[in-house]
């Protein structure tokens, strides 16, 4: 059907034909059996897109976006689908633009420590390519074997080493993006402090609501001359939590400080054989780097701080193979849960480091109260909690109870002076929780920014901000109502 001059056409057959003409027939999926693969990400939400496309260039992305405007359809960008907040779920259908075929490393400028990549580049593939230059891209999410740089940018992803290096926004110099009207523009550049308003920084963490990244210029850092990984073994989560603040209070900022509790250790150790004691209440995986003498001195401070707060043993790993084995246990922990429980719900909250012992006690008490097993593996150094609630969704009412428990844990984080996300994003899952940490004036300001780039229901609708035209309230709203918590903190 041709476009009606009085408004957009709604003929799906015409849309498919035009997308196939613009991107190639093999890059357009529209059959139901193909679409079902793209109805979810790594959370528990589900919704089918109307059509899925695989662009190869920025111009392909722009063409798909312009057709979305013509047919009055929403656009949802997607990387590898590893997101943990429902951010890539096409809750209102529309065109799902999957960026995984735009996966080339375009440039590595070792002298200026800059890399230029397409958004579909896998995080670990980039790290491997940089190794021969003695460089690395600091953000390293635990899903780095499969997650994309574009997805990391959308969610401002972190990872174990962000304690010292910072999260994704600290390592993005410039972006090429497609805006909601189909224009291709560049933000930032190749230097850290480009003049003007920092639209580059605004885009990082915007979760696909402002536009689609089609190219990224990344800041690289040199690999440290020396690295040491320490495994501190504790009898309780509380003691390990206390050690986190003690280490930093004594003047050492490790590049990573991760915690695994007993529940996680008993799941991951038989599968990975990382060397975590099965009888430990919790372990801290702590990494320090720098010049050799500095690493030795900092490691001694870290070890003493851990012993002073109750560590029964502190092991040291200097060799790369030994360190990699310890880290393999950490990075494989979430996947191991999938083999130990029918389903699990992974949370993402932040608390001040000094509140870790108190909040972790609350988390474990809440899980016991609701009757669910919970394994904790998280970025303890920056207070970024990741409780993993294990459950069987075939049991009537179990999913609803898990979501209710998740809301109670998020409320505990906020009440402790923290936030409802550290790196997974707000997405669909936690948009109603935004009212816990922002006033209505704050939220209105964020809506105004979103609308400055295009209609709020055009790019990734029903994500990040509460409410929205045609958006269901979602489980977060229901949990918040149950808790009776709608206050501005």
CATH number for the domain harbouring residue 293: 3.30.70.2190
% of the chain beyond a pLDDT of 90: 85
Question: What pLDDT shows up at residue 473?
Answer: 56
Residue 116 located in a structural domain: yes
The secondary structure of the chain in percent helix, strand, coil, rounded to multiples of 5, reads: 40, 20, 40
pLDDT digits (tens, 9 = 90+) for 298-324: 999 999 999 999 999 999 998 889 999
- Write down which residue in 296, 314, 336 finishes a domain: 336
**Do residues 123 and 68 share a domain?**
no
Q: How many domains does the chain have?
A: 4
pLDDT of residue 408: 97
Torsion angle, alpha carbons of 14, 19, 22, 26, to 10: -120
Shared domain check, 450 and 376: yes
Q: Count H helices, E strands: the chain? A: 17, 20
pLDDT value of position 472 = 63
Confidence band, pLDDT 50/70/90 cuts, at residue 471: confident
Q: Provide the CA 87 distance to its chain's centre, in angstroms.
A: 10
Pairing relation of β-strands 313-317 and 212-219? unpaired
Question: What pLDDT score was predicted for residue 457?
Answer: 82
Q: Is 5 inside a domain boundary?
A: no
Q: Cα(332)–Cα(249) distance, rounded to whole angstroms?
A: 30
For residue 342, is pLDDT > 50?
A: yes
Q: Is residue 488 part of a domain?
A: no
CATH of the domain at 80: 3.30.43.10
Whether 69 and 148 share a structural domain: no
Q: Return the structure tokens found at 142.
A: 């635990």
pLDDT of residue 59: 98
Residue 476 reports pLDDT greater than 60: no
Is 5 a residue whose pLDDT tops 70?
A: no
Secondary element (H or E) of residue 131: helix 123-131
Tokens representing residue 263 in the block: 């529940």
272-297 CB burial, b ≥16 within 10 A, e <16: bebebeeebbbbbbbbbbbeeeebee
Q: Which of 240, 231, 236 is nearest to 313 (CA)?
A: 231
pLDDT, residue 387, reads 96
The model's pLDDT over 275-303, given as tens digits with 9 standing for 90+, comes to: 999 999 999 999 999 999 999 999 999 99
Residue 4 lies in a domain: no
Question: What's the CA gap between 167 and 165, in Å, rounded?
Answer: 7
Question: What pLDDT band is residue 4 in, cutting at 50, 70 and 90?
Answer: very low
Same domain, 140 and 271: no
Q: Confidence class of residue 126 from pLDDT cuts 50, 70 and 90? A: very high
Q: Evaluate whether residue 303 is within a structural domain.
A: yes
How far apart (Å, rounded) are the C-alpha atoms in residues 396 and 365? 23
pLDDT band, residue 272 (cuts 50/70/90): very high
284 and 316 part of one domain: yes
pLDDT at 13: 87
Q: Is the pLDDT of residue 352 over 80?
A: yes
Check if the beta carbon of residue 217 is closer than 8 Å to that of residue 172. Answer: yes
DSSP conformational letter for 44: S
Please give the pLDDT value at position 195: 83
Query: With bands split at pLDDT 50, 70 and 90, how would you rate the model's confidence at 8?
Result: low
- The domain boundary, picked from 98, 130, 147, lies at 98
pLDDT: is 335 or 371 the higher one?
371
**Per-residue pLDDT at 6 exceeds 80:** no
Domain-located, residue 50: yes
pLDDT of residue 455: 84
Q: Does one domain contain both 362 and 449?
A: yes
pLDDT at 474: 53
pLDDT of residue 54: 98
User: Could you give the angle at which helices 262-272 and 320-331 cross, rounded to 10 degrees?
Assistant: 120
Looking at residue 354, what is its pLDDT?
Answer: 92
Cα 222 from Cα 174, distance rounded (Å): 20
Amino acid 478: pLDDT? 44
Pair 33, 64 in one domain: yes
Distance CA 301, CA 308 (A): 11
Question: The domain containing residue 235 runs over which residues?
Answer: 226-336
Identify the burial level of 110 via C-beta atoms within 10 angstroms of its C-beta, where 0-12 means exposed, 13-18 middle and 19 or more buried: middle
Q: How many Å apart are CA 314 and CA 247, to the nearest integer?
A: 13
Residue-wise over 81-104: b if at least 16 C-beta within 10 A, else e?
Answer: bbbbbbbbbbbbbbbbbbbbebbe
Specify if 257 maps to a domain.
yes
Provide the pLDDT for residue 485: 39
Please state the pTM of the whole predicted model: 0.91
Query: 356 with 470, same domain?
Result: yes
pLDDT band at 480; cut points 50, 70, 90: very low
Q: For 195-217, what is the mean pLDDT?
A: 95
| pLDDT at position 44 | 82
Same domain, 344 and 479: yes
Within 160-236, where are the H helices? 162-165, 199-203
Query: Domain of 152: which CATH number?
Result: 3.30.465.10
Q: Are residues 330 and 413 in the same domain?
A: no
Q: How far is CA 237 from CA 234, 283, 354, 412, 454, in A?
A: 7, 8, 14, 17, 47
Reported as a pLDDT band with limits 50, 70 and 90, residue 482 is: very low
Both 241 and 297 in one domain: the answer is yes
Shared-domain flag, residues 48 and 113: no
- The last residue of one of the domains, among 199, 222, 245, is 222
105-121 per-position pLDDT tens digit: 999 999 999 999 999 99
Say if 68 falls within a structural domain: yes
Q: Are 186 and 213 in contact (CB under 8 A)?
A: no
Q: Cβ–Cβ contacts within 10 Å for residue 36, how many? A: 12
């Amino acid at each position: 059907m041709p476009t009606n001059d009085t408004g957009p056409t709604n003929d799906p057959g015409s849309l498919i034909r035009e997308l196939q003409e613009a991107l190639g027939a093999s890059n357009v999926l529209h059959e139901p059996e193909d679409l079902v693969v793209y109805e979810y990400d790594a959370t528990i939400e589900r919704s089918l897109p109307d059509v899925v496309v695989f662009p190869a260039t920025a111009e392909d992305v722009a063409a798909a976006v312009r057709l979305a405007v013509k047919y009055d359809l929403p656009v949802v960008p997607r990387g590898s689908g590893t997101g943990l907040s429902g951010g890539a779920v096409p809750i209102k259908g529309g065109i799902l633009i999957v960026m995984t075929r735009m996966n080339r490393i375009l440039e590595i400028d070792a002298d200026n420590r800059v890399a230029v990549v397409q958004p579909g580049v896998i995080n670990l593939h980039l790290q491997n390519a940089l190794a021969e230059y003695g460089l690395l891209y600091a953000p390293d999410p635990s899903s780095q074997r499969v997650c994309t740089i574009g997805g990391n940018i959308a969610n401002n992803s972190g990872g174990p080493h962000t304690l010292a290096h910072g999260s994704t926004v600290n390592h993005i110099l410039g972006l090429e993006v497609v805006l909601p009207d189909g224009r291709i523009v560049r933000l930032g550049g190749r230097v850290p402090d480009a003049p003007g308003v920092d639209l580059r920084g605004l885009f990082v963490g915007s979760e696909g609501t402002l536009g689609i990244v089609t190219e990224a210029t990344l800041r690289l850092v040199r690999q440290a001359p020396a690295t040491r990984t320490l495994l501190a073994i504790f009898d309780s989560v509380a003691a390990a939590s206390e050690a986190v603040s003690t280490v930093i209070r004594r003047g050492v900022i490790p590049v990573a400080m991760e915690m695994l509790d007993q529940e996680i250790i008993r799941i991951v150790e038989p599968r990975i054989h990382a060397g975590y004691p099965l009888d430990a209440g919790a372990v801290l995986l702590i990494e320090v780097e720098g010049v050799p003498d500095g690493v030795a001195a900092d490691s001694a401070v870290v070890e003493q701080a851990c012993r002073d707060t109750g560590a029964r043993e502190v092991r040291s790993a200097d060799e790369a193979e030994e360190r990699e084995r310890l880290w393999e246990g950490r990075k494989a922990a979430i996947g191991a849960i999938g083999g130990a429980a029918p389903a699990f719900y992974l949370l993402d909250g932040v608390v001040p480091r000094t509140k870790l012992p108190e909040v972790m006690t609350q988390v474990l008490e809440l899980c016991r109260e609701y009757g669910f097993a919970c394994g904790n593996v998280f970025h303890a150094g920056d207070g970024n909690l990741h409780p993993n609630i294990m459950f069987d969704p075939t049991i009537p009412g179990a999913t609803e109870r898990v979501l209710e428990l998740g809301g109670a844990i998020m409320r505990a984080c906020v009440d402790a002076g923290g936030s409802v996300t550290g790196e997974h994003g707000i997405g669909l899952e936690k948009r109603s929780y935004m009212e816990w940490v922002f006033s209505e004036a704050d939220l209105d300001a964020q809506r105004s920014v979103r609308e400055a780039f295009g209609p709020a229901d055009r790019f990734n609708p029903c994500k990040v901000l509460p409410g929205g035209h045609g958006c269901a309230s979602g489980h977060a709203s229901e949990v918040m109502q149950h808790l009776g918590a709608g206050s501005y903190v």
